[in-house]
């Protein structure tokens, strides 16, 4: 649809800003142009729109040189929406939008037809500007003006929509509304979109392909996975960048990390406070810890300061445990968004707390355990869907710095140690009468201070993995002993 061949251009012919770029934008795709200020994005945009002359190379539209198109021909195929909101005359919103129909009008005295008005009304409704149709354009807010100019572009019924940072004046709601609308037109009408986007995360979510421009040249052209190349982005933007997955769509999202001054570090596990009563075991850290958990609340890999294990009765109604824990945290004045929440029917006074330093690394385990619903996971006989009351709940804290992969490693080490404890304690699945591997409702949180040297390793062949194994094995074993003593059971 749009093809650039060794394109060179800029504001001064002898000092080009764009230095021989090649690019092919396919019909019906959303293509985003990315790069820091001064990289040449706006210059390239103006070359494509014809605002700047091409010094050398070719700029083709549907196989024809763009320079061979008349203004009317270009207006029928291309609509342009820039970040500059300037209208010289005091038009109403409806009059501004009507200008988009001009290329389609015929005759000496061009006027709006019934079809033109129907298209205008449809687009005004879709873009949410119909309510402003009789207002003067100059009296609108920046965001409202931008939506009006988008409507003007869409009523033009272009094949190509060129966007220069179109969401600069929009809040989050209207940014996503605008881009959702453009994506819908792309899919339903075959619209080709070429956009300069400032926000890398927005570009990742909406663009089919993107190009990273640096010093007038493309460093890379590709799909959104291009944004997973952290070192390349850091070189271009001069900011520490971490790429991670979006939790809902298969696109990367980027986190920018400020260059912070040295902060007061957590002094090992000394800045922890542990409180408990018959209703709640609450471990609080003075600073957020990096966590991996399958708790009722706070699941996944996150940052948390509060770690809570609530006692519930055995006949607890599990219809909405997440809501219940949220209410209990609120009653205790503990912020839900900073908390991992678990629940158990085990008597909390039987908790096992183990603290140990192993070769300079501090560990702490807080374990409650019962084995009334022990299961052998290798037994294929299905049982009733389990409730979410945790039977073996493990909180594990380490003064270490683990990558996300290291957290997963640590979770595997903890699971291996738990299984070994159940094996040695001869805990059986009551259905299969084989050795249990866990219970149907086990919960765990592994939390690390993120101090010291970063490591992706916390498996059985590492010091951290061995420490995890030691504390979890000892904690689970002692907790099961307490459970059996309370119910008068020796083997189960």
Residue that is last in its domain, among 194, 224, 257 = 257
Tell me the mean pLDDT in the region 440-460: 94
Do 331 and 356 fall into the same domain?
Answer: yes
Per residue in 217-227, pLDDT (tens digit) is 999 999 999 99
Instruction: Judge whether 345 and 313 are in contact, CB under 8 Å.
Output: yes
Over 13-74, what HEC string results? CCECCEEEEEEEECCCCEEEEECCCCCCHHHHHHHHHCCCCEEEEEEEECCEEHHHCCHHHH
Residue 338 inside a domain? The answer is yes
Domain finish residue from 206, 224, 257:
257
Confidence of residue 492 (pLDDT cuts 50, 70, 90): very low
Indicate left, alpha or beta for 238 from its phi (over 0: left) and psi (-120 to 50: alpha): left
* Cα end-to-end distance, the chain, whole Å: 71
Task: Tell me the angle at which helices 463-487 and 404-424 cross, rounded to the nearest 10 degrees.
Answer: 40
Q: Is 268 left (phi over 0), alpha (psi -120 to 50) or beta?
A: left
* 294 has pLDDT over 90: yes
215 and 346 share a domain? Answer: no
Question: Using one digit for the tens of pLDDT, what is the confidence trace for 344-391?
Answer: 999 999 999 999 999 999 999 999 999 988 999 998 675 555 544 658
Average pLDDT value for residue range 135-144: 89
One domain, residues 248 and 363: no
Taking the model in full, what pTM does it have?
Answer: 0.82
H-type helices in 309-361, by residue range?
321-332
pLDDT of 168 = 80
Q: Of the candidates 257, 282, 317, which is a domain's last residue?
A: 257
CA distances from 243 to 97, 200, 404 (A): 40, 11, 12
Residues near 456 by beta carbon (within 8 Å), at least 6 away in sequence: 402, 403, 405, 406, 409
Domain boundaries, position 447: 272-487
321: CATH: 3.60.70
Strand partners, 367: 352, 394
Same domain, 282 and 250: no
């Amino acid at each position: 649809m749009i093809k650039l061949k060794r394109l060179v251009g800029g504001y001064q012919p002898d000092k080009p800003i764009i230095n021989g770029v090649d690019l092919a934008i396919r019909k019906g795709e959303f293509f985003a142009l990315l790069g820091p200020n001064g990289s040449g994005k706006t210059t390239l945009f103006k070359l494509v729109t014809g605002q700047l002359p091409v010094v050398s190379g070719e700029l083709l539209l549907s196989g024809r040189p763009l320079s061979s198109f008349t203004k009317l021909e270009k207006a029928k195929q291309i609509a342009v929406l820039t970040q500059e909101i300037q209208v010289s005359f005091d038009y109403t919103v409806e009059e501004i939008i009507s200008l988009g129909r001009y290329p389609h009008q015929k005759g000496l005295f061009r006027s709006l037809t019934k079809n033109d008005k129907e298209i205008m009304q449809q687009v005004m409704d879709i873009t949410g500007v119909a309510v402003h149709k009789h207002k003067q354009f100059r009296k609108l807010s920046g965001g409202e003006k931008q939506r009006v100019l988008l409507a003007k572009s869409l009523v033009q019924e272009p094949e190509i929509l060129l966007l220069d940072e179109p969401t600069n004046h929009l809040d989050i709601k209207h940014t996503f509304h605008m881009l959702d609308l453009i994506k819908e037109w792309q899919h339903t009408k075959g619209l080709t979109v070429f956009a300069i986007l400032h926000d890398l995360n927005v570009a990742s979510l909406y663009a089919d392909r993107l190009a990273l421009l640096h010093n007038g040249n493309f460093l890379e052209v590709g799909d959104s996975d291009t944004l997973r190349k952290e070192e390349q982005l850091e070189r271009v933007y001069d900011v520490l960048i971490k790429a991670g997955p979006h939790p809902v769509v298969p696109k990367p999202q980027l986190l920018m990390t400020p260059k912070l001054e040295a902060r007061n570090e957590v002094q090992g596990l000394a800045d922890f406070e542990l409180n408990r009563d018959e209703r709640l075991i609450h471990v609080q850290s003075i600073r957020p810890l990096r966590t991996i958990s399958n708790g009722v609340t706070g699941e996944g890999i996150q940052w948390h300061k509060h770690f809570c294990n609530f006692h519930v009765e055995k006949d607890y109604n599990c219809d909405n445990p997440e809501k219940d824990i949220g209410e209990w945290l609120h009653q205790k004045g503990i912020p839900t968004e900073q908390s991992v929440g678990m629940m158990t029917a085990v008597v909390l006074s039987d908790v096992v707390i183990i603290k140990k330093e192993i070769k300079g690394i501090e560990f702490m385990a807080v374990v409650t355990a019962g084995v009334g619903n022990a299961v052998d996971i290798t037994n294929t006989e299905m049982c009733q869907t389990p409730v979410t009351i945790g039977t073996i709940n493990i909180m594990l804290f380490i003064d270490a710095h683990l990558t996300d992969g290291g957290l997963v490693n640590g979770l595997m080490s903890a699971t291996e140690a738990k299984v070994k404890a159940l094996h040695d304690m001869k805990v059986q699945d009551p259905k299969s009468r084989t050795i249990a591997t866990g219970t149907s409702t086990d919960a765990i949180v592994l939390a690390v201070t993120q101090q010291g040297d970063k490591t992706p390793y916390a498996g059985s062949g590492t010091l951290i993995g061995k420490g995890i194994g030691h504390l979890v094995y000892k904690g689970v074993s002692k907790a099961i002993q307490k459970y059996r003593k309370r119910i008068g059971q020796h083997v189960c």
